[in-house]
Amino acid sequence: MPPMRSEGALIERWRSLLTSYNEVAGHLERALSDEHGLTLSEFEILDRLVAQDCEKRRMQDLAADMYLSQSALSRAVARLEKHGLVARALCEADRRGVFVNLTEQGLARHTAARRTHLAILAEHLQPA
């Protein structure tokens, strides 16, 4: 059996994580939605697209370092495309794959939203 003494600490850390996450995520989602019309997931996708190099923009590559399920990612990208922030393109080398490319609008939106993002983090993410 695992040591009993660690259970309390384990739960405490989880509660702390849960509280911190919900505090920050709540404010972040509201702010991103109200000020920029973006879901947190949508912002995270844009954030990865501006950072990653061009070769790594297929759906599966996005999915690989995100927390979203395959279907949620697919729909989030569909929403972004519908609003003109990304463009999907067939991958010619492997026609099963789909490339996701940032548009000018998408880059601009991310740049604007990034300010809000940082402001909310500075305000609500505990320093330790």
Site string for DNA, 60-99 (x = CB under 7 A): x--x---xxxxxx-xxxxxx--------x--x--xxxxx-
**Residues 16-35, interacting with DNA (CB under 7 A):** 26, 30
Scanning residues 58 to 77, which ones bind its own copies (CB under 8 A)? 67
Whole-number CA gyration radius for the chain: 18
Gap between the Cα atoms of 122 and 116, Å rounded: 10
Count CB neighbours of 85 within 10 A.
24
- 7 vs 69, beta carbon nearer DNA: 69
Q: Using CA atoms, how far apart are residues 35 and 115, in angstroms rounded to an integer?
A: 11
What gap in Å lies between CA 77 and CA 70, rounded to an integer?
11
Half-sphere exposure of 81 (CA within 13 A, CB side): 13
For residue 2, the SS3 value is coil
Size of the site for DNA (CB under 7 A): 28
Choose between 9 and 93: whose C-beta lies nearer to its own copies: 9
| Chain contacts with its own copies (rule: CB under 8 A) | 2, 6-7, 10-11, 13-14, 17-26, 44, 67, 118, 121-122, 125
| Chain contacts with DNA (rule: CB under 7 A) | 26, 30, 39-41, 58-60, 63, 67-72, 74-79, 88, 91, 94-98
